[in-house]
Each structure stands twice: as C-alpha cells, then as structure tokens.
Amino acid sequence: SLQGKNAIITGSTSGIGLGIAQALAAQGANIVLNGFGDSQEIASLKDEFTRQYGIQAIHHPADLAKPEQITDLIQESTRQIGHIDILVNNAGIQYVANIEDFPVDRWDAIIAINLSSAFHTTRLVLPAMKSRGWGRIINIASAHGLVASAQKSAYVAAKHGIIGLTKAVALETAQSNITCNAICPGWVLTPLVQKQVDDRAAQEDISVEEAKRALLSEKQPSGEFVTPAQLGALSVFLCSEEAAQVRGAAWNMDGGWLAQ
C-alpha cells in the first residue's frame, strides 16, 4: 500500500499520466495532478480522485517548459500536501518532421518538456527524499528511448536522454532507499498517438481503424495497444518495497517492439 505517500505525476490530466495517477491513488497515495485542460474538467477530475479513492488530490497548472513554474509546482505541492515521496516524470509532447524541416521552436520545446523538466523536478525533490530516507522516481521514456524512428529526431533524442538521466540518478541514490527507473512504453492509444493515427489516415486516405492497424503492424508485434492501466500497474510495482533493487532500469512494456 502507498497509504500516506505523496505523489506528483506530471502531465496527468490525460493519457498515460492519468492512468498512473489513478493506479497510485488506488493504493492510497495522495496525488498532485499537473497538466493542461479545461479548468471545469480538471476541477471535476480532482473531485473524482478525492471521492473515489479517499485521498487528497490537488492540481497545479505548471508549464513544464518553464523552470520557474516547476519550482513553484514542487514548493506549492509540498506546502499543500507535504513532502514528495513519489515523482513520476510523464509530461511529454511529440512532433513529426524530417530534421531539415524540423521547426527550431519544436526542438526546443520537446527537449525542455520531455527531458529538462525531469532534471528540474528531480533536483528539487531529492533533498527531501534523502532526508526522509525513501523515494521513488519514475521517468516515462519510450521505446524511442532505446531505438529510433525516422522523423522523430527531437523526441528520440529527449527519450534517449531521459534514460541516461535515469541511470545517473540511480547511481547517485544507489545506497539509499530511493530508486530511479524509466518505463519504455510502446504504442498507447492516447491523444498524443491519436493525432498520429488521424494524420496517417488523412495522408494515406484510409480509415482510422486501418491507420491504427498500420501503425501497430510496423512496430508492435502484438498488434495491440499498451494501456495506461497496465503502465499504472507497473508503476505501482516500481513503488513497492519488492522493487527496492530495481535501479536504473529502462523497463519496456511495448507489445514486443524492442524484441525485434
């Protein structure tokens, strides 16, 4: 059980982050939600967490491209629910283009949100984790943290980078009860991937269902999407005492993508 533990999950108003937040809340953790969206919908999401799981839930709107807002995220969360025991660095964006056409501002945004934000959150939560003698840091990388695909230079670079960061933090915390690991999902049908499905359907003049099958058959041998709930269950395991010696791992859950 994660009763009494406090968890921040970045980018948890949607997709994988939301699935992980639900799984941690179901184990009794208090939850800091972060991410964009309609303020009414976020307010009812927060209420749902409190009601369904009987925990404390707050939302902080920090834009993770902005280091000063990340500082505020950690300070405000600590003030409102207490010291952070579990940090899940999940917020991420995608952009698809050949490198010579890649907009410079998209490169900068992807490196800031998908990589540098995890440096900032980690450096800001570690002192309290160290003084309290317990912590779990989970970085949501990707199959693209270990292998590349064309037209995703910034994303692939950021995801390879966050696996390197994961290993360095795991070594710096190796002799403590703080662990740092990365999870490498394959295709998960979230809004981030739905956009790629829709773009492909339009470009190739095929149905959305055909575009989904095409996407999966290229990379994911199972032919099935990974689900946010499955990634939530893996996150719960990585937070457990049984996972105390899982350190610096890049753990794939990818329908066989990386077995090829």
Residue whose entry in the numeric block shows the structure tokens 């967490």: 49
When binding is defined by CB under 6 A, the residue of 8, 16, 23, 250 that contacts ligand NAD is 16
Give the interface segment with ligand NAD, choosing from 120-128, 191-199, 212-220, 238-246 (CB under 6 A). Answer: 191-199
When binding is defined by CB under 6 A, the residue of 3, 54, 100, 191 that contacts ligand NAD is 191
Strand order in the sheet with 86-89: 57-60, 30-34, 6-9, 86-89, 135-140, 178-185, 250-253
Q: Write the interaction track for ligand NAD spanning residues 76-95; mark x where CB under 6 A is met and - where it is not.
A: --------------xxxx--
113 sits near ligand NAD (criterion: CB under 6 A)? yes
13 sits near ligand NAD (criterion: CB under 6 A)? yes
Query: 10 Å Cβ neighbour count for 77?
Result: 23
User: What's the chain's Rg over C-alpha atoms?
Assistant: 18
When binding is defined by CB under 6 A, the residue of 5, 7, 17, 30 that contacts ligand NAD is 17
Tokens for 2, please give them.
Answer: 């994660």
Question: Residue 53 catalytic?
Answer: no
Distance of CA 25 to the CA centre of its chain: 16
CB nearer ligand NAD, residue 14 or residue 177: 14
The Cα 245–Cα 127 span in angstroms is 21
For ligand NAD, the binding residues (CB under 6 A) are 11-17, 34-37, 63-65, 90-93, 113-114, 140, 142, 185, 187-188, 190-193
